[in-house]
Structure 1
Amino acid sequence: MKLLKKNWITGALALMLTISLTACGNNEQAEKVTEQTPTEVAPTEQTKPTEEQASDLSTVYPLTVVDATGESITFTEAPKQIVSLSPAETEALFALGLDEQVVGVSDFDDYPEAVTSKARMGGVYSPNEEAIIVAEPDLVVTGISMSVEATEKLRELGITIIKTDPKSVDDVIANIELLGQITDQQAEAITVVDKMKQERAEVTEAVKSLTPEQKKKVYIEFSLGWTVGSGEFLNELITLAGGVNVAADTVGWNEISEEKIINDNPDVILYNMNVKDETTQETLDQIIKARSGWDQITAIKNDAIVGLNDNLVSRPGPRVTQGLKEIANAIYPELLNHE
């Protein structure tokens, strides 16, 4: 069965930087670092400057980071031309005020609106290598799913590539902080992540009083016949929202067992509202409701089947905490304050 759907799985697989931020600092810190010694970003510590320090922050170069593949990258200055091959990272770059520095994006980028004027660099898995070379970037940001062959080829040509792979909201926040450090936009990064932390706190505060017995069982399906288990940030979003993911006993992305979902009997079903059957034009919720035996599931009996904006919840970028709020509203509409 063919489906028209956005490449949301790419977002779920996109971007984590397995480093932390020890090279952040104000001018006083900068004086303590010699020009001959690159600033090393330690993988186990993270500098978290206060909001009061934000206006004084500046990145100390040279700056060395290590990406999700273990590749060590040194920056001698802030990148001036950036290609993003991940919609999530593109959103982060624009949120950091780097519109002018972004010279190319993936074919799947659609937010913010300003990306429509950017050159297209092909797909996320197999990008257009020629287009990237022509763009002459001094930084390419991509997800872990970009092919090893394409990555090696571009690196052999001297193109700096950072691959990321977030597994939690904290990972997403760390990525944005790091991009702010690499690009010398640390004050902007603080503004972005503070908003994300506030949105996360709104949700966790609203659901903190739920007892284990009150927590609802949740099933999520964003691509026909596929769900997500533990070890992925989408599973964490369900947990943060006070839900219990019925697929948490599996790891990563999995094809579903229809019988298992019936036995799990979720209280709420979440689905991608942008998926349709190409032939019948049936939406994913219609397909789910029509499955044999699923009419006995509590969520379907109670009409607790809710469509989600896939871009908000599947892209590990600055809007992911808005996606968290959407999930929480879907599970516990009575608990969150509605404006």
Structure 2
Amino acid sequence: MRMLLAALLLTLPIAAPALQVTDDRGVTVTLPATPQRIVSLLPSLTETVCELGRCDRLVGVDRYSNFPAPVRKLPQVGGGIDPNIEAVVALKPDVVLMATSSRGAQRLEALGLKVIALEPRSSADVQRVMGLLGKIVDAPDAPRIWRNIDAGVAAVAQSLPPAARNLRVYYEVSTGGYAAGNKSFIGEMMLRLGLKNIVADHLGPFPRVNPEYVVRADPHIIMIGARNAMGLEQRPGWAGMRALREQRVCVFTAEESDILVRPGPRMADAARLVARCVTEKGLTPSTAGSKRE
């Protein structure tokens, strides 16, 4: 009898232990099992889940999640900051991934949903979030995927000519003059490429800077998305800046901007876009040497 019971016990499935996750709010969330139904309300998190090989577990996304292609067929549940709560609940997710800045977390939790808020801002954050998502979705390849991304950025840095070193760059990430600072994942990537960000460290990762600040810094290159590039010459003092006079402005398409501003699996692609901008502007050693200290 005992042998029979032992044999039966061996055939029973062993339940996976519950997983406890502490998100970027400092909130500890207990997941009783590996989530099979995921709603993602931040494009970088959507892309990371897919890169980890778990795109098939996504059942809904925010309106801005558009990569990779399969997510475009998923139900959209509003914006990441202001999601449609009823639409999210209707999808019956095991977990909702969202930004810490989203206003929907408490309402979703009050309705009984598991919410994990993650908002990577630096390269270290991207690595940490990828590892954490790997645990959440049971994807053991997360460390290897991160190493490949990091190696891709390093390869781009090695490919740039010496003339590109220490060129002063201004990168505007969104309307209203919000720029990428050195403490952001974009700023860190530019530093790895040997570029010099005109935005001072103490201003933070994504500060709002006024037009005069940029004029005083006199960057060699301005990088900006097509959505924000209209009327640069009309900004106070900008028409006289060297970057505009010499047409050293890189205007990225909407698709390219998505790659650049999302801290996730396509960071090496973002580095390639920045490197292409620098090389296509035909910067010479004499141009680089004329930088103002």
TM-score bin, normalised by smaller chain: 0.7 to 0.9
Is the Cα–Cα contact under 8 Å of residues 242 and 328 in structure 1 kept in the other structure? Answer: no
TM-score of the pair, normalised by structure 2: 0.81
Correspondent of 2:33 among 59, 65, 77: 77
Verify: 1:92 aligned to 2:48, yes or no: yes
2:169 alignment partner, one of 218, 224, 232: 218
Q: Give, in whole Å, the separation in 1 of the partners of 2:239 and 2:30.
A: 56
- For 1:113-152, what aligned pairs fall within 5 Å after superposition? 113-147=69-103, 150-152=104-106
Instruction: Write the distance in 2 (CA, Å) between the matches of 1:293 and 1:133.
Output: 50
CA 1:253/1:197 → structure 2, altered by over 3 Å: closer, same or farther? closer
TM-score, structure 1 length as denominator? 0.71
The answer on 1:318 being equivalent to 2:265 is yes
The 3-state SS of whatever aligns with 2:174 is coil
- Residue 167 of structure 1 aligns to a residue in which SS? coil
Q: 1:195 aligns with which of 148, 164, 167?
A: 148
Per-residue CA shift, 1:254-310, capped at 9, x if unaligned?
33322221111100100102x16xxxxxxx1x5113435323322223221112311
Letter in 1 for 2:224: Y
Instruction: Give per-residue Cα distances to partners, 1:303-329, cap 9 Å, x unaligned.
Output: 211123111111112112211221133
**Structure 1 residue aligned with 2:246:** 302
After TM superposition, list the pairs within 5 Å mapping 1:104-115 onto structure 2. Answer: 104-115=60-71
> Is the 1:268–1:304 Cα contact (8 Å) retained in structure 2?
yes
Q: Which residue of 1 aligns with 2:286?
A: none
Residue 241 of structure 1 deviates from its aligned partner by 2.1
The match for 1:236 is 188
> Could you list the per-position Cα deviations for residues 109-168 of structure 1 after superposition, in whole angstroms to 9, with x for gaps in the alignment?
111111122111111111111111111111111111101xx2112112221111112121
Alpha-carbon shift at residue 71 of structure 1 (Å): 0.6
**Cα drift, residue 208 of structure 1:** 9.7
How far did residue 224 of structure 1 move? 3.4
* Counterpart Cα distance in 2 of 1:97 and 1:251: 33
Structure 1: runs of 5+ lacking an equivalent: 1-34, 37-59, 277-283
Are the counterparts in 2 of residues 203 and 240 from structure 1 also a CA contact under 8 Å? no
- Counterpart CA distance in 2 for 1:264 and 1:141 is 39
How many angstroms does 1:182 deviate by?
A: 1.3
Distance 2:32 2:161 in 1: 45
One-letter amino acid of the counterpart of residue 168, structure 2:
K
| Identity %, equivalent residues | 27
Counterpart in 1 of 2:275? Answer: 328
User: Which of 122, 125, 138 is the matching residue for 1:184?
Assistant: 138
Residue 197 to residue 255, structure 1, CA distance change in 2 (3 Å)? closer
Return the alpha-carbon distance in structure 1 between the equivalents of residues 200 and 188 of structure 2: 10
Tell me by how many angstroms 1:191 deviates. Answer: 4.7
> 1:155: which partner in 2?
109
1:62 positional shift: 2.8
When residues 267 and 294 of structure 1 are mapped into structure 2, their CA distance, relative to the original with a 3 A threshold, is: same
Alpha-carbon distance in 2 for matches of 1:155, 1:161: 7
Aligned to 1:258: 211
Greater helix fraction, Structure 1 or Structure 2 = 2
Greater C-alpha Rg: 2
Q: Taking CA–CA contacts closer than 8 Å with sequence separation of 6 or more, which of the two structures ends up with the larger relative contact order? A: 1
Alignment partner, residue 57 of structure 1: none
Instruction: Name the SS of the counterpart of 1:254 in structure 2.
Output: coil
* Residues 153, 267 of structure 2: 8 Å contact kept: no
In structure 2, C-alpha distance between the alignment counterparts of 1:78 and 1:225, rounded to whole Å = 41
Task: Report the more deviating stretch, 91-100 or 264-273.
Answer: 91-100
Greater CA deviation, 86-95 or 242-251? 242-251
Task: Tell me the secondary structure at the aligned position of residue 110 of structure 1.
Answer: coil
CA distance in 1, matches of 2:51, 2:214: 38
Show CA shifts across 1:67-126 (max 9, x none).
Answer: 000011223321010000011111111122222211110011111111122111111111
- What RMSD over aligned residues (CA atoms) do the two structures have, in Å? 2.5
Is the contact made by 2:173 and 2:261 (CA closer than 8 Å) also made in structure 1?
Answer: no
Q: Which amino acid aligns with 2:210?
A: S
Q: 1:263–1:122: structure 2 CA closer, same or farther, 3 Å change rule?
A: same
Compared CA separation, residues 230 and 201, structure 1 to 2 (3 A): closer
Q: What is aligned with 2:126?
A: 172
**Contact persistence 2:37–2:94 (CA under 8 A):** yes
- Structure-1 separation of matches of 2:76 and 2:175: 28
SS at match of 1:311: helix
Whole-Å separation in 1 of the counterparts to 2:157 and 2:34: 36
